[in-house]
Structure 1
Amino acid sequence: MSDSTNHLYDEIDRQNQHLPASSRRGLIKGTAASLAGMGLFGLMSASAEAKVSTNDANKAENILAVAATAEVLATIVNTVGPEKLGSQLDAVTRRNVQAAAQQEKNHYELLTSKAVGGKEVTKTIYVPDEVFASKENLLKTLVVGDQVFINAYLLGVTVFARQGTLSGSKFARYAAEIMATEAVHRAVALQSLGELGNDRVYAKFAQREEVAGLPTTGAPGFYDIMDAVTVLESAGFGFGKPGSKPGTAYNYDEVAARTPVDPGVNTISIS
């Protein structure tokens, strides 16, 4: 029996605690019969949710730590990119990237607030020098990075929702709201590359990357939050230490102090 069906049966049992044990067993048996009759057992066992492990790697603290550290990286790249490339970026692209820097900084501040309780692994990121070598390199890095963030936040939605508590549902919503913004960042970066920005019917989670010409083209999504770190490290980023490619160290506090604020950015607080 898959983790997802076990979870379903546990929920049925929990939500019907007011009923006698025999009645709860009857409800579970009835649900099992219905799923079997509709041929859904195989579908559930093969679902993305069933593949998201419940081991320590995907515990809430790790997801928050990886997410906060990713937002450190994103704030740095989106702030420094326009500084380095200057007039190589057209006005619209420059404004979109700088607005993304402001938004990533806001995400980091939310994730590390007392209300959420996340803690970054490091504030020092080694960024490959090639990222800032050209407009195309920067934008492709943003497309790849934002997809990693989308995957990570969707994984977070799954893990937090599984908690079955008000706190879990709140954090799941936070993750979904941030993921939606990361999807916008990816779309505008693609559009600035001359590609279709709104190219997906659904935000990509487990599916393979179909955009051509990226370092991650053809690679599948991930079910373990630590794989987000692996993907970023394979692109040459270093977290608190030099990465696998020639790069420069940037400190979040120094960079975030000069992250621009765009008056057009709205919905700057979360409900």
Structure 2
Amino acid sequence: MNKVNTSDFKVDKSIKLSDRLTVTDLNATNKELKKHLESVREDLGDFQNTLYAHSKYSVLVCLQGMDTSGKDSLIREVFKDFNVQGVVVHSFKVPTELELKHDYLWRHYIALPAKGKFGVFNRTHYENVLVTRVHPEYILGEHIPDIHSVDDINQDFWTKRFEQINNFEKHLADNGTLIFKFFLNLSKEEQRRRLVRRLDLQEKNWKFSAGDLKERKLWDKYQECYEEAINETSKPHAPWFVIPADNKKSARVIVASILLEELKKYQDIKEPELSAKIKANLGDYRKQLENESE
């Protein structure tokens, strides 16, 4: 099995999505991929326990991708060995009436993970420069001063929104949130196959929506918007990783491996040491407990 090299997927300069792979099997069988994922996610679970004890950092994992790119199953498989109290998943849908009464980052800010925990955003604050860019009429629902019609939403508006997102993430990073952003790079043909599968398998029917086909017709526009968003917001403190997503099993291994490799770089994340007083009295504490059973 090929080693997962983080640098192969990390965006540290301007990219074109059309040049990026949508499929890789890491030169491994499905059985090998499954075994490797089990090993990596166990290590990630151990890391989360240490992260909780250390209690100075939180981890935010952002997942974006076209419909059927595998976000839900990736979350299920990568974080399976976590303490359930150590990871919180938020799936952001259409903004509610309450959320629309706040600025567009508010609902994401209040969902951020506490120190010591992992937070996973299934669709993220980037929907506000993706879906709303493909459908700018949605912006009107935000009731922004000086935005009275779609004609008022120009390139300057989006440039400012990228700046706001960069500032938001820099603020989080400066205060101890470790940010990882993954774009699951799915091919249009593979999406077609997965949509057909939703129609063919009764247990998958509930996932299908006629709206999926309408959005599919806007594929090129979405790719254009994703490309610009990634290029404008991949920063050292909040990098994007473009993950080939046509093979779900390898995509999960790549995401898990990147997380583990990057998190291990934080050598200061370790269990706190006992105080000198407690260390000096460990023997007495043991005796007290042993005497209770006599």
Larger RCO: Structure 1 or Structure 2 (Cα < 8 Å, ≥ 6 residues apart)? 2
Bigger share in strand: 2
Who wins on radius of gyration, i.e. which is larger? 2
Q: TM-score, normalised by structure 1?
A: 0.29
- Return the structure number with greater helix share: 1
